[in-house]
Amino acid sequence: MSTITTPPSPRPRRPLPQLMTLTDAAAERLRALYAKGQEGRTLRIGVSTKGCSGLSYRMDWVDGPGPGDEIVTDKGVTVLVDRKASLFLIGTVMDYEVKALTSGFTFTNPNEKGRCGCGESFHI
What single letter denotes the amino acid at residue 89?
L
In a domain, 3, yes or no: no
Q: Which residues contact 5 (CB under 8 A, 6 or more apart)?
A: none
Range of the domain at 111: 20-117
Residue 9 lies in a domain: no
Digit-coded pLDDT (tens) for 86-118: 888 899 999 999 988 888 998 888 877 666 655
Q: What pLDDT does residue 28 have?
A: 96
- Give the CATH number, domain containing residue 56: 2.60.300.12
Give dist(CA 53, CA 69) in Å, integer.
Answer: 25
Rounded Cα distance between 99 and 85, Å, is 28
Position 1 pLDDT exceeds 60: no
C-beta of residue 74 within 8 angstroms of C-beta of residue 22: yes
Q: Is 8 a domain residue?
A: no
Q: Which amino acid is at 31?
A: R
pTM of structure:
0.77
Q: Is residue 45 part of a domain?
A: yes
Q: For residue 31, what pLDDT band results from cuts at 50, 70 and 90?
A: very high
Q: What residues contact residue 61 under an 8 Å CB cut-off, 6+ apart? A: 38, 41, 42, 43, 44
pLDDT in tens, 9-29: 777 776 667 889 999 999 999
| Number of domains composing the chain | 1
Q: Across the strands, what pairs with 44? A: 60, 80
Q: Does residue 12 sit within a domain?
A: no
